[in-house]
Amino acid sequence: MICDETRLLTLTNVGLVRFGEGVATMCATDLADQGVRRVFVVTTPPTLTHCEGMVAALRARGCAVTIWSDLAGEPTLGEFGLALKAAKDFGADAVVGLGGGSAMDVAKLVAALLDGKQDLTDVIGVDRLRGRALPLACIPTTAGTGSEVTPIAILSDEDEELKKGVVSRHLVPDAAYLDPGLTVSMPPAVTAATGLDALTHCIEAYANRFAHPLVDVQALAGIALIAANLECAVYDGSDIAARAAMLRASYYGGLCLGPVNTAAVHALAYPLGGEFHIAHGVANALLLPHVLRFNLDAAPERYAAVAHALGVAPSADARTDALAGIERIVDLSRRCGVEMSMARFGITRDAIPRMATAAMTVTRLLERNPRVVTLDDCSRIYEAAL
């Protein structure tokens, strides 16, 4: 059954959310007022300049700051280990993640594991983390992952070529600062990929075996915002209204992930990132229409509602509307410049068996999919996406 309003739902929310241009620097005041004195900032080379105002404000309040920006892309287990060592060597008493999901996910795990009471290998999975060592704030510079409000952190296992997740209420940050001005510098390709990631979050949370009315409203609101604003944000990055709308949509998608989470699209996308290093949002966009077609008959009314949020005019037939919605997603992805064929990324048919095997290990997401997914189903979906 989808959307059982009697189902037990647990919401673990960020304690403080600030939204608006310029709020990033308010993080410094909030941390200093808590008595923090040594702040470890996790970011990436493209977002280093966005740290300047906050770092200056922290230092003006007497706080020592060190910035760690050695992430080459989506974070690996090895890179997390380097960040954790740097934070320990610095003697951090608070952590800030500023950037996309990569920086925020690393920051979340550094804050959680700095005291050494648990190792990363102890906490991979669901609800295995016993607590968080340090205060944590997150500042997104992309509009996609929603990591600033989620209980999830994802790292790539270099040896197994697969992404692994830590899911725990202790990873939900203490504070999130959503400043649309920080997203203006995102290149068009990153804007498209992260926006389609947020769209996938919202769609998969709405059409989900664990869907719930408290989450549905956020999911549908996010879908509508992305449909109305993503293309403008891609092609006119300085449009602050479109940027703010996309940041809101990403936030809504993030709020969906804790209580409901995603499903088969994300499970099948993990091998594309782990083995072929395709950007997470692009991997989701590649697979989204094919998974939705696979799922459609399991929840036609749900997918019709998704289509309506995307702008499809309602008709008398839910399945017809749902199919029209899937075509809208394909069209939006293409208009935003996203390649919709795995072959264009060098993936060949002989990779499908091992990708399908890897995807089937992501049971925490597959169990949420509206339709049961088998190994053969995974293979057929990948075939359709070639």
Question: Domains of the chain by range and CATH?
Answer: 16-183 (3.40.50.1970), 188-385 (1.20.1090.10)
Q: What is the pLDDT of residue 163?
A: 87
Nearest residue to 123 (alpha-carbon basis) of 137, 134, 109: 109
The mean pLDDT value for 169-191 works out to 97
The mean pLDDT value for 87-116 works out to 98
**327-347: per-residue pLDDT in tens?**
999 999 999 999 999 999 999
Confidence band of 192 (pLDDT split at 50, 70, 90)? very high
How far, in Å, CA of 202 to CA of 274, rounded?
23
N residues, the chain: 386
Predicted structure pTM score? 0.96
Collapsing DSSP states into helix, strand and coil, what is residue 173?
A: coil
**Residue 99 — left, alpha, or beta (φ > 0 → left; ψ -120 to 50 → alpha)?**
left
Confidence band of 1 (pLDDT split at 50, 70, 90)? low
Adjacent-strand bridge partners of 182: none
- DSSP string of 311-357, one letter each residue: TPPP-S-HHHHHHHHHHHHHHHHHHTT----GGGGT--GGGHHHHHH
Q: What is the pLDDT of residue 208?
A: 97
Q: What is the pLDDT of residue 198?
A: 98
Are 143 and 233 spatial neighbours (Cβ–Cβ below 8 Å)?
Answer: yes
